[in-house]
Structure 1
Amino acid sequence: MSDQVITEVVGRTLRVTFNRPEARNAMTFEMYQKLAEAAAQVDADPQLRALVLRGAGGRAFVAGTDIAQFRGFTGEDGVAYEQRIDEVLGALATVDKPVIAVIDGHCVGGGLGIACCADVRIGSTASAFSVPIARTLGNTLSANTLRRLVRAFGEPRTASMLITARKVDAQEALASGFLTAVAEDLDAEAEALIDRVVSGAPLTQWAIKENLRRLAAGGPVDDADVIAKVYGSRDFSNAVEGFLTKTPVEWTGE
């Protein structure tokens, strides 16, 4: 099982590869646990600037949860399962550093839930997105997972995807804003995107993510602590001087 999720540090990124290509990277419960651990790992290491997610094999990002694990499920098991998925996706969605999903092929069910937690998503021309449970398992999504899809795709498109079990292709995902780019050469364009992200100002990226989370919670947002942390940082002070003196700035996240 240990090689079903490959975690490695590459430069200033933590790379997570879902590595069950023979099963289109369908997730086992242990794989979800490894993903949650990776989310904690990237935030714990000050040298890391981003978390990168992708699937092995070129046919799928993640083709949902391994269906064999649902055999014999009771209603109570279903509740526990959806609660665990909520926990894992919550851990991924609250990573302080940028999360990048590199999507080649099918991104289905639980895989789409994972992709929804990324801040930036790039797909191949063969990428396709669906939650076909109305025609396959006849199960459901938790309200929290549904909320993630609605935020990513909008309510009308989410409803049509789920009720008709239709696929969204790469171009529709791009037009909807779910994908940042659709790439012919996914590896090259993904690396260029990753380089652009990790060369950015870490505190700015953190502040944007944090305030987006607060906005999503609804109600008035008190972000004085976020603003004070960024404007009071050495990075900001050094960047102002660098801009005025036309000298390069090296971001430290402090």
Structure 2
Amino acid sequence: MTGSANGPVGGPGAPAETGKTGDLLIERRGPVLHVTFNRPHARNAMTPGMYSGLAAALEAADEDTEVRVSVLRGAGGKAFVAGTDITRFRGFDGDDGVAYEREVGAILQRILAVRKPVVAAIDGYCIGGGLSIAACADVRIASPTASFGVPIARTLGNTLAADTLRRLVTLLGESRAAAMLLTGSTFGADEAARSGFVWQVTEDLDGAVDELAARIAGLAPLTLWSIKELLRRGAGSSPVDDDDVLRRVYGSEDFAGAVDGFLSKTPWTWLGR
């Protein structure tokens, strides 16, 4: 199975070749699907095609009888994913913000619905949308240089959808998630491990991930499916109506000014409107 965000990922029995181009590299090596976020010049910031390509690749792996586990990682060694490409936010109004969060939320739900295990190999920045993607993985392994957070209160002044916030609260704990978001802070790999968000911190990230993927690939597929399915059912709850909150924040003068300021490297002074 091989391809990129710009093309198909293949199907059962596809050769284990490497996709050489594209913002999303997709490669099957034996029973393991490797998905690499490939925009190292932009710290692997996500484009719309990368979001949809990620979900499509994992869904294709679900239908490929040769694949037992998927591994997500970032190219370049400095970032897993450092959020969404900020150029996308120029000119946003409140309705655009709602549509964006619904679009990304639907992608995250597709990732959560994948029946086979997903491992996130995190090296460097795992920020904003990167943290949301990592939170959809089943197991997370990090290098000591990994850093985690959603510092939107000091960068863009946008907000999180309720479902994304709820997932972070579930995985990090309410007090840690609230402190992280309300102070605009990030935290390191050791704290992520202490919280249980990261299963293992290791200098040999590639080796540890390969060993874990091989181990998972050798386990009973139906057992793994059943655990994921029951965890998903247990996590189910009624959706929260958050359109008004998203519309107010994404349509604010602060968000528009902060996006322009970020892209032009000009500090923005928060106005609260």
Shorter-chain TM-score: what band? 0.7 to 0.9
Distance in 1 between residues matched to 2:57 and 2:184, nearest whole Å: 31
Do residues 30 (structure 1) and 49 (structure 2) align? yes
Instruction: Kindly provide the CA deviation profile for residues 49-95 of structure 1, in whole angstroms up to 9, marking residues without a partner as x.
Output: 01110000000000000000000011111000000111000000110
Equivalent position SS for 1:22: helix
TM-score, L = length of structure 2: 0.79
In structure 2, stretches of 5+ residues that fail to align are 7-21, 239-273
1:63 aligns with 2:89: no
Number of residue-to-residue matches in the alignment: 219
The alpha carbon displacement at 1:218 in A equals 5.0
What does residue 39 of structure 2 align with?
20
1:47 corresponds to: 66
Gap runs ≥5 in structure 1: 220-254
Q: Deviations over 1:133-161 (max 9, x none)?
A: 00000000100111111111111111011
| Structure richer in helix, relative to its length | 1
Instruction: String of CA shifts for 1:174-230, please: whole Å, max 9, x gaps.
Output: 0111111001111111111111111111100000000001111159xxxxxxxxxxx
Counterpart CA distance in 2 for 1:35 and 1:105 is: 20
- Measured in 2, the distance between the counterparts of 1:99 and 1:110 equals 17
1:126 and 2:122 aligned: no
Whose RCO is larger (CA < 8 A, sep 6+)? 2
In 2, the alpha carbon distance for the partners of 1:79 and 1:39 equals 25
Post-superposition, which runs of at least 4 consecutive aligned residues in structure 1 deviate over 6 A?
Answer: none
- Match for residue 179 of structure 2? 160
In 1, are the aligned partners of 2:142 and 2:201 still within 8 Å (CA)? yes
Q: How does 1:212-223 map to 2 (within 5 A)?
A: 212-217=231-236
Shift of 1:168: 1.3
Q: Which residue pairs with 1:205 in the alignment?
A: 224
Task: Report the Cα distance in structure 2 between the residues aligned to 1:40 and 1:145, rounded to whole angstroms.
Answer: 20
| CA RMSD in angstroms, aligned pairs only | 1.1
3-state SS, counterpart of residue 8 of structure 1: strand
Look up the SS of the partner of 1:184 in the other structure: coil
Specify the alignment match of 1:195 in structure 2.
214
**d(CA) in 2 for partners of 1:218, 1:75:** 26
Please tell me the residue identity of whatever aligns with 1:73: F
Distance 1:78 1:218 in 2: 23
CA shift for structure 1 position 40: 1.1
What CA distance in whole angstroms lies between the structure 1 residues aligned with 2:176 and 2:229? 26
